[in-house]
Structure 1
Amino acid sequence: MHFLHKPLPYLLFGVLFEYFTTLCSPLQVSPVSCGSKNISSYYGHCVTSQEGVRELVCFVPMGLSRNGWECVWTPRKHLVYQTHRYTLIIEQKMIHHCKMYANISGTSQTFNNLSKKRNMTAQVFDESDPKSCTKDVFRGSPQQLVRCGPPSNVDLNRHSRQLDIQASWRKEENKYIALYSVRYKDLKSQSWKEPPVQSKDSNRCSLGNLNSSLSYVVQIQCVANNKCTQCPWSKNFTVPPELTDKPVIEMVEDFPQTKGSRLVIIKWKFAASELAEGYSVTVGKASGEDPIEAFNTSRTLLRLALSHSAYHLTITAFNKAGNSPAAQRTIPPLDDKDLYGRLNVTFNGNTSFTVSWVDDLIKTYSCFSVEWWRRGEKAAHKSFYEDENNYEVIHLEEPLELYKKYTFTLHTRPHKEPCNLKFINNSESTYGSIQSFFTEGSPISAPGNISSSNVSQSSMVLEWTAVPEEDNRGFLLGYFLHYTERLQDWTDTEPNITVDAGSTSYELVDLQSSTVYRVQLSAFTGAGMGVRSSAAYFETKPEASLTVGGVIAGAIVGVTLLLLVVHLGSQLLKRAKKLLWPNIPNPGNSNAIQKIDGVCDLELLELINRQMLKEEEGDSNSLHIVNGREEMSPVGNLHRNADSCLHLNTDHGESQGPSLSTIATDRAQDPTSDTITSIPTDMRQTDPVLISTVAHQCHPLAFLSDYTTMELFQQAMPHCVPTNTSSSLESQDQSSQISQARSVKPGQS
């Protein structure tokens, strides 16, 4: 090369000029002819090193002109200098072709005018470090240097511990690529897993047995063939962890709006929200009418303006690795009561019907859609354009079925023709809805599970379960309740009661006690009455029936009340006694009374009285007073003796002789009498009147009450003699206790 023989100052000046020129504007590299000998002498000191420039490769991209060649390389590992200067030399020795591209700042260089029939040699030199020069060499045949790749588009999807890969190349490359390989490693690993995995075809490849919670790095290359001789590895594709959980739909709420629209609020949550980049929500009509619209959002809340139709909802979380399992929900049609329009349906046979409306809708809308379905089945739909009439005839592909209930709904759309649905959100509103039967029939089953409750002597409540809707075969209008006494036969005049369709219970009244009734039920529609249920029998209660439980409960309540009354009464009596009758000491409990060993005998008292009272025979004007103390009975007998005195006087009211009262009267009449004659002895023995007289002269203490003081009581009480004493002792005691009577004269004390 001629520039190699220039003086060193010129060479340094040229390098500095090129350096500053590069800083100001991009450097345009032009090829320069060179000689093999000069290259060896000037770059002979440059060596091949793993630390220097390396991985030089030259190729022609598939689809480009075979004259458009390119060489690429990898710079040294440790970048010390801010700028690098590379020199690329291309040689074909057989035809003495040598081109040099100096001062290359990048890591690639394109060139042309290369012969396809001769092998070529490419060398790249790195002189960035003045102390060392590194190089790399590439040799090959131009016919085998066609490169395919790397892929232009890659889709990654993780699921079930598996990674699905779909790779595609440019159109001119794709037709020559039959298979490709994939190598992968854990994001934190330094080495690739070997061997690489080969695809099943030109597009799909799967990696299995992955750890769902780990991130991976993936590279892809095509499998080389005679058309694609070079298949480089692609750049790194980082695959985040797998989304194994599905979103959980927490809320789907409807908020009716005006003119047949509703606001639907959808809310969900996702457990691995930190791994998700966003959420995809797809919404489509349950009738299957296109389109199915997708909404991507980073939030877990979505608001949609929808019609009253039914919709299918799907929610998935996504990241670079793919999508999570989908959460699905069906948004049911909104209740018809919220619709503002009145819709009519007329059947033109079983293959067509006419839908009509009341309001003049064609002034506002010209595109409509009608949906019809049976319960539990997918809805059919038909959109149409109408600008003249307020009705439309719909022809059916499948005939309508007998005794089946259909729901018809009319939607209005603001868009012009064509009237197909343009999008889901805020695209249509619902005008009205109606349910109808093509042909009604009578129910084919009867109410079931007939039972009774609240049974009394004259009434009972009957309950039953409704007829299944599919067995009604028409609009249910109510129930017929048939009942009669068990022993009577069914007649045309049996009592039938009509019950509303919305009720499943009825109270029978005015029944007879202790009577068994037979009950049957049947449902009816506009087509007539259905079948009757099986007979059920129920008996009313007798007139005076008391249950064992009621008797026991009544007895318990009665005993409880009685005990309560007794307890409260005793307490009240005690309080009243303390207030009204205070306690008085009982003399019978005193020590004096306890010393009395016996009771005084009434016969002894009679003997003493006979001796004390001596009345002179025939002399009724004198009174003898006995000087001494009379024998008295104990205190315990005072009341008894007082009563005895009274009874004795009554029994002998007609006795002869002077009584004590007579003697007292005579003395009052003759106060000058100074002598009282003693009572004769024979009168004590024979005259019973004396006993009466003595009885009337009972001692005053005999009438004393318990309030008598103890002193007077002891003075009045003599020592009583037991009744079982012998007759000798009795006479001796009587004679010793009789005192001599003394005469009492007037004026003597």
Structure 2
Amino acid sequence: MKNSLLAAIILFAADSCNYLSWDFPFCKQLSDWDNELTCYKELNEDLTCTWLPAPSAPNSINYTLFLKWERITKLFRRNTSSPSITIERKNLFMNRSASIWIAVNYAHASCVKGKNISVTPRKAGKCLTPSNIQAHQITKQLVIKWNLSTTPTEYELRYREALTEASQWTRVPIESNAINITVSNATSSYIIQLRCITKDGLHCVCIWSKEILVPHKLMNKPRISYNATTEISPGRRSVLLKWEVMQSENTIGYYIAVERIPNSCRNSPNRIILKDREVLLNISMAYYRINISAYNNAGESPQTIYTIPDFSATDLPGQINVKPHGTDAVVTWNPEYSPKCFVVDWGTRKEDMRMKIVATTAGNFTLDNINPYKLYKIMVHASDVCQCESFRGHEKTFGVTHFYLLEGVPRIGPTNITILNITKHSAFVKWSEISADDCMGFLQGYKIKYIDSSMNKFLAASINSSTTSYRLTGLKEKTIYRVEISGFTKAGEGSPSFSPQFSTLKYEKGEFEGLMTGLCFSMMFALVFAPMTCILMLKRLKISCWSSVPNPRKSSAIQDMSTWKPISKSLLQTLPDNDTTSLYVIEHDEKASLKLEHFTDGIEDSKHDIRESEEPSNNIGINIIHKEIPEKTVTSEKDGIISFTVPLLSDYTSMECSQKALMSLTVKLPARAAHPRLEMELSSKPTQTEHQVLFAPQDYLKQSQVVLLPPRPTLMEKVNLN
């Protein structure tokens, strides 16, 4: 027994330590915060907890609900930003008691907590609240009524002012079985709530009813949301108005007061009572003012005043004529029918309109004390009611006109002159029209002038008074202008108004971009084609000034063998050392092999077997067909000089072509040459001999270097040629 008790004490101490560790030690208890934390079970067995917001707390505040179950160490917690939270059934132990409290986390990291409550979910059902609660105000009294409950229950009431969010609740106890309560000294709008009072043995939770607003007075006036005016017949129109109100659920109806302007029957009642938030009126073309207010048992809201705007009638039954007569004006008209009376309205504006009932059918009326240079509006209405009664449902407008007793010129020009869409040669001008008070007469139109930077003034146009914009044309590019606009009446032109200075553009829209695009393309064209043109011109200049080196393949040296001329050995010896002298002509048999040995400083460098190609080459101008040279080609042989005709027609020819050409000649060759660096080995046979021409290995040979050497009896000789 002692061991069990000791274990229970240890467990309780452990739970207490855990409880204290979970209960934020830095959160202090707020003594003045009666949060009225209440938790109750819904029909779906979820647990809902509600509480009052923390005092002096901002709108964006975080609450943390802590729930500590009995004999369970784990602490349940949930965060929310509203003063209520619902815990789902899956997180509840229905038959286990729980301790619940609320902590408030402020933005500056401080924390406060409210009072703890103990709840067993199975026993926390919601008690029945009073049903059909109704409340209203009468003179300085707040009256609340509700239906009687089947079970005798005590209730309590709390209320606070509706206009102050931070106002404190005031509680009022209610006797058992009461069905109403009256609160005295009610001087404002209030929010009320009712709930039952918990008794011993009552296994349910009493919660407050929903908040009910009881306005002391409808303090917000209606707001017009829609209006429309339509002409329904000559001289009559319909006006449709719709509006909205705040706290419409507390409004019983609306008062509509229709007032004619002017109205000589001030005391005539003309009030309409409506339940809907709209009204349709059929009235004449006269000025009317409509007052709209909401009402309930507590009183009437402030009025919304709506003045019906002027309506330009397109078809009126008659015409009105006005003629000045000194300081008076005589108004005449011709009625189509004879009503009981006419009603004449006249004045310069709505506020100073005057009204006169003319009970005669003569069709004339004299207006006295008319001021000059002021615009008057005159309206004549026909009516079958001529006493101080409402004219709203009876009168019909006969005619409307405007007149000046004496016209003058406008004292100011138009206002708000604006220059728009400025281009190279034009600009668009807008302005506001001259008011009727400043026109001093019937405005006939506007004169528009513009002044350039040289102070030259030009008249642009004269336009009618209904136009308030104009496009100036014919302006000079890149020039500063000012616009002068004045109005004119029958009496003449009035004072002008000036616009701010503006400057026309140098280029039209897109013109500058086009020029830049063309310039860019021109520069690109020049950069691309100019080098090509220069290259072509340089090539032509090179051809004209410097002849090109001929192509050996196209040489004509061997094309005509009949044009060869004799060349002596003495000519070859007179050439300078740096000139190319590499031509040898050697006589040997046709079938003998011709060998050329090239020695450099006594060392054999290479041996070349040179033989005549038996197959013709495909290269044009290079192929030389082997044939015998006629004996007449050789003209003389004296002093070791062999003379024959050589067809060298150009300055240079290739070594190979010249060698092949000369080897085909039947000319005897000398045994040795003068050049010390070259050696030729000749082989002779008893057959027919021919002349062979050997050259040093080089690409080109001058014609002056071609030498034909005389034949020698021996076939193998070493020849040195300088």
The TM tier, using the shorter chain, reads 0.3 to 0.5
What TM-score comes out, normalization by structure 1 length?
0.45
Larger Rg: 1
Greater per-residue helix proportion: 1
| TM-score normalised by length of structure 2 | 0.47
